[in-house]
Amino acid sequence: MSVPAPPSAGRGAELGVRLRDRDLSAAPATLNLVESRTPADREQTAALLRELSPAKLGGEAQGHVIGVTGPPGAGKSTLLSALVREWRTRGKSVAVLAVDPSSKRSGGSLLGDRARIDFDPGDRELFIRSTAAGERLGGLAPATRAAAQALAPAFDIVVIETVGVGQSETDVADVADTVAVIVQPGSGDALQFLKSGIMETPDVLVVTKADLGKIAISARRDLSAALRSLGARDTKVVMVSSVPPPSGIADLADAFEDHRAALDLPGRRLAARRAAALADFAVEHGERGVRGLGGRRAAVKLLAEQDPALEVPALVAVLEAKVAA
Amino acid sequence: MSETPAHRLPERDRPWMMRTYAGHSTAKASNELYRGNLAKGQTGLSIAFDLPTQTGYDPDHELARGEVGKVGVPIPHKGEMHTLLDGIPLDDMNTSMTINATAAFLLALYIGTAEENGVDRAKLQGTTQNDIIKEFLARGTYAFPPGPSMRLIADMVAFTVTEVPKWNPINICSYHLQEAGATPVQEIAYAMSNAIAVLDAARERVPADQMGKVFSRISFFVNAGVRFVEEHAKLRAMSILWEELGRERYGVEDPKHLRFRYGVQVNSLGLTEAQPENNVQRIVLEALAVTLGRNARARAVQLPAWNEALGLPRPWDQQWSLRIQQVLAFETDLLEYPDIFEGSVVMDGLVGELLAGARAEMAVVAEHGGAVEAVPYMKAALVDSHRERWRRIESGEQVVVGMNKFVETSESPLVDEDGGIMTVDAAVEAHQREAVEAWRAERDQAAVDAALAKLREVAADDSQNIMPASIEAARAGVTVGEWSQALRDVFGEYRGPTGVGEATAADHGADLEALREEVGRVGEALGRTVKILVGKPGLDGHSNGAEQIAVRARDVGMDVVYEGIRLTPQQIARSALDEGVHVIGLSILSGSHKELIPTVIDELRAAGVDVPVVVGGIIPEADVAPLKAAGVAGVYTPKDFDMNRIMSDIVALVAAKGGVSTPA
């Protein structure tokens, strides 16, 4: 049992302590907080993440952060629905952070994916939250990074679902332990993106609609060949079908576990925190701010010198102090 | 004997079949209603089933709450079917059943009941609506995924063509597409594409020499709006396309088999809550659209009641609509002439335009891989069309008398204290729950278990036909909920596309800009973009209104969580909590708001969600005060067509709740 936060600690710290205690019911309020842009709430978010730093946790958060991305129509939501069922059957608690693109025109967004994930309203170990991507097309909102970091100590699995086969995977890679790209057979896009280097090599490539038989198998073959030619031998290709009877879902869950087991988790998490800190700093202070640090490379170097146990807001504070100095 | 001149018929045509879409509360009450309607000169039956029956849930299922006996009659098993049809000569009756996902079982109950009354199945005449694609697109009473759903339809086609040869196993419905906002071109194109999907599936299950007969048993269920000249042209265009399709794609040659046969229910979408008496003349004009020209005249007509936008019609309201048909058929000279549009330049020109448009749109659907694969495309296209229609009404470009123009009115004597509608006794549901439990307790459980086991086996084996096992199940006393669950176990569950995610961004000019500004201001003050949950509790699948609200909320800058239809109050509360929404909009058109809305609010409070809730739908005036007493912040009905005003109210509610000051 961790020590309860002192009563004066404020909302952020209280939520942090609850999450450290794996109180899953803290998730909705946590998201409301980390998504908020008011200065007071930003401070509370920093306080929340402080409670969840590796130092406070006594190590890395136990949850497995998985990024799932792919083009619209690839069957992500249906797949996710089946995956969530599989994880729940295995007794794992799951948080899904679904990131939808926003309308550039109105600033509003239709957060539709939830409609396609079956959920039992009485299930307290499953949390689904949809978020608009914000102003950057296909990008990951700073709030989503913070949310994933906040929920990882509490949930066994934290999924970040994003749309796209372009730049957004790199964003997801900044925060996820394991990145999966979903492609559907017959669409050559993923193959082209892989070959041209537009798409970073994912940890797991998922070919959906395996019920399409021949097309799916040839898609798998082409992708495997492309991965070999890129020297990405560690990337697993998994075929799944969400059409009843679903197939490949357990294999996929296993592939995620295998990847995580083979991973240098502290190393990846440390890199993720440092990348996130720089990204958050850049969102806040812009390119001018980055130049103030002596450029991106100097910033990376500065971050690399910091205590590995520092959480993201603390790292951002280091960068800000440097600019001010 | 002198020859009949070309402008006259040798003898007056027989009138079309006259029906009224009816059914409510209980099988017994509905049986009395049917007998009364037949005594008034109705010539066929049109059974309206309640939503639990349509979606495959027994009256005691959680999802059936508030819906039992509301929009139709509950028929969970053969005992209720016997009561419903008591005293009605089934060998002589032509019965239309508005049933889709569970059509195979309801037909099985009908056949079983007829046979237990000594009527041979070969003598049965009627129609099962059975069009699942339009359920995915517009009506929402689907139960199984697209693939297995199409197989059930093909099974019924293959079964009836030999076993129940006078039965129309499917009515391809363009009706609901128009209700969902389809333009005439979309209505034609999507209905024809849908028919192609059905016929292609049937072709794999019947011998080639039966295809002409199969083709001839496919009928249509269409809509007619108030633009009745163009609407008539639409029907002529459909009959031309149908014949073409039969000849070219399916090699049908017999002219009798190639005839385009359709029944109709005229437009409900255009009926107004404001000055509802005006709906009578709309209905008359729409009836002309489907009867005027002999070459494309309806085989069966049912007319809505003048007060449909207010709530459930009473028997007298339905009688009025039947009398409209009777005056048209028996008093006017309509049935004395050959086709009155033959050689009309205007009609031919309109038909040509519609044909060209429909062919182009059918090609787009074909490119998507056919109607089943194109459901998300068609759904999004319908949401867009509906939004365009709504925009024209809001802007006044499209005149709706009494609603956006000529709104001054004297007090109506038609809408009295009871609101001028029928209300279903709330005790019906409790009674039906007990009745189905009693039914289950009294039957031979071993026979039921055996029938369900057989059903599962047949469902899992694509080479077998579902009908014989379903008839066996019906005879054994299996309920509609059990039949559906057995198939859900094998086929899986399905949630249809919502169509809103793909909706294109709107351009509504200055009004929208001002709203965006305000939504942005409130969001900034709150720290997060204003987030709204749009929910449809209960079994009602009429999602057009909810979709339009969702899209407009997005267009004014809100983050919108829309989860589609058929949600339990618990699911809505859980989503509201997890998603951290600032406000909730609920939509119900099935009349179950009195039960469901307070339950949703209770669940929200239990979950600790304290945000404003607004409700939209067909809500009678008398129900508004109780809903507000239960905690609802605003109630919107069809007369509130100005969606920007609704949005403005919603933002104000969010601002007030969040302690955000009013704009400077």
Nearest Cβ partner of B559 from A37, A132, A244? Answer: A132
Active site residues of B: 21, 175-176, 536, 540, 542
Contact B579 A37 (CB under 8 A): no
pLDDT higher than threshold 80 for residue B419: no
Residue B604 within a domain: yes
What token pair was written down for A275?
Answer: 């990348």
Which of A110, A117, A241 to substitute to test the interface with B, most B CBs within 10 Å? A110
Closest by CA position to B648, among listed B639, B638, B636: B636
Mean pLDDT over residues B373-398, rounded? 91
Inter-chain touch A109–B555, beta carbons under 8 Å: no
Nearest to A37 among B145, B527, B573 (CB): B527
What are the distances in angstroms from CA B367 to CA B17, B372, B557? 38, 12, 34
**Contact yes or no for A121 and B568 at CB 8 A:** yes
Please report which confidence band the pLDDT of residue B145 belongs to, taking 50, 70 and 90 as the band edges: very high
In a domain, B444, yes or no: no
Domain residues for the domain of B621 are 510-657
Write the DSSP string, B436-468.
Answer: HHHHHHHS-HHHHHHHHHHHHHHHH-TTS-HHH
Does a structural domain hold residue B615?
A: yes
- Does A37 contact chain B (CB < 8 Å)? yes
Tell me, yes or no, whether B377 and B521 share the same domain.
Answer: no
A132·B529 Cβ contact <8 A? yes
**Inter-helix orientation angle A27-35/A142-151, to 10°:** 150
**What angle (nearest 5°) sits at the alpha carbon of residue A161, between those of residues A155 and A162?**
150
Which among B375, B395, B415 is the end of a domain? B395
The residue assigned the tokens 């209960």 is B538
Query: How would you classify the pairing of strands B300-302 and B583-588?
Result: unpaired
What is the three-state SS of B264-292? EECCCCCCCCCCCCHHHHHHHHHHHHCCC
Q: Is A235 on the interface with B (CB under 8 A)?
A: no
What is the CATH classification number for the domain harbouring B538? Answer: 3.40.50.280
pLDDT at B417: 66
- Pair B384, B514 in one domain: no
Q: Dump pLDDT digits (tens) for B339-348.
A: 999 999 999 9
Q: Residue B275: give its domain's CATH number.
A: 3.20.20.240
Q: Which helix (H) or strand (E) segment is A28 a member of?
A: helix A27-35
Q: What is the mean pLDDT of residues B186-213?
A: 95
Distance from the Cα of B88 to chain A's closest Cα (Å) equals 42
Q: Are residues B29 and B159 in the same domain?
A: yes
Neighbours of A39 (CB within 10 A): 9
pLDDT mean over B282-291: 97
Asked if residue B419 is part of any domain, the answer here is no
User: Is B335 part of any domain?
Assistant: yes
**Which residues, given as ranges, of chain A have pLDDT below 70?**
1-9, 102-105, 112-116, 134-140, 164-170, 187-190, 196-200, 244
Same domain (yes/no): B350, B220: yes
How many domains in chain B?
Answer: 2
Q: Examine the fold and report which residue of B337, B369, B395 is the final residue of a domain before the chain moves on.
A: B395
- A109 — contact with chain B (CB < 8 Å)? yes
Asked if residue A117 lies in contact with residue A75, where contact means CB atoms within 8 angstroms, the answer is: no
The owner of tokens 């609704």 is B646
Same domain, B198 and B321: yes
B544 domain-assigned: yes
Sorted by sequence, the CB contacts under 8 Å of residue B485 that are 6+ apart come out as B56
pLDDT tens digits, residue range A211-257?
A: 777 777 887 888 888 888 777 777 888 888 877 677 899 999 999 99
- Residues from chain A contacting residue B526 (CB–CB below 8 Å): 36
The whole-number pLDDT of residue A241 equals 82
The rounded distance, in Å, linking the Cα atoms of A99 and A132 is 6
Share of chain B above pLDDT 90, in %: 83
- Identify the domain boundary among B360, B395, B430: B395
Query: Could you tell me if A39 lies within 8 Å of chain B, comparing CB atoms?
Result: no
Q: What is the DSSP string of B312-380?
A: BPPHHHHHHHHHHHHIIIIISSGGGSS-TTTT-HHHHHHHHHHHHHHHHHHHHHHHTTSTTTTHHHHHH
Task: Find the chain B residues whose C-beta atoms sit closer than 8 A to any C-beta of A.
Answer: 145, 147, 490-493, 495, 498, 500-501, 503, 505, 512, 516, 519-520, 524, 526-529, 550-551, 553-564, 568, 570-571, 573-575, 577-580
Asked whether residue B379 falls in the same domain as residue B514, the answer is: no
Between chain A and chain B, the number of residue pairs with CB atoms below 8 A apart is 105
* Residue B409 covered by a domain: no
**How many angstroms separate the Cα of A241 from the Cα of each of A227, A244, A245, A258?**
22, 8, 8, 20
Report d(CA A72, CA A85) in Å as an integer.
Answer: 22
Which domains, ranges and CATH numbers included, belong to chain A? 1-58 (1.20.5), 64-262 (3.40.50.300), 264-325 (no CATH)
Q: For residues A240 and B495, what is the distance between their CA atoms, to the nearest angstrom?
A: 19
Q: Tens digits of per-residue pLDDT, B542-591?
A: 888 898 899 899 999 999 998 888 888 999 999 999 999 999 999 998 88
Q: How near does any CA of chain A get to the CA of B569, in Å?
A: 9
Instruction: Select the residue from A15, A109, A135 to test the B interface by mutation, using most B Cβ atoms within 10 A.
Output: A109
SS (H, E, C) B100-164: CCCHHHHHHHHHHHHHHCCCCHHHCEEEECCCHHHHHHHHCCCCCCHHHHHHHHHHHHHHHHHHC
Q: Is residue B293 part of a domain?
A: yes
Q: Degrees (nearest 5) of the Cα angle B429, B430, B431?
A: 90
Q: H-type helices in B566-642, by residue range?
A: 569-579, 593-606, 621-629
Q: Which residues contact A54 (CB under 8 A, 6 or more apart)?
A: A60, A61, A269, A308, A309, A311
Looking at the fold, whether B27 and B167 belong to one and the same domain comes out as: yes
Residue B75 pLDDT: 98
Q: Which residues pair with B560 in a beta bridge?
A: A110, B532
> pLDDT digit string (tens) for B10-35?
999 999 999 999 999 999 999 999 99
Average pLDDT value for chain B? 93
Tokens of A135: 């102003």
pLDDT band at B506 (very low <50, low <70, confident <90, very high): low
* Structure ipTM: 0.90
Instruction: Check residue A67 and report its DSSP letter.
Output: E
One domain, residues B519 and B389: no
Residue B21 parent element (H or E): strand B21-22
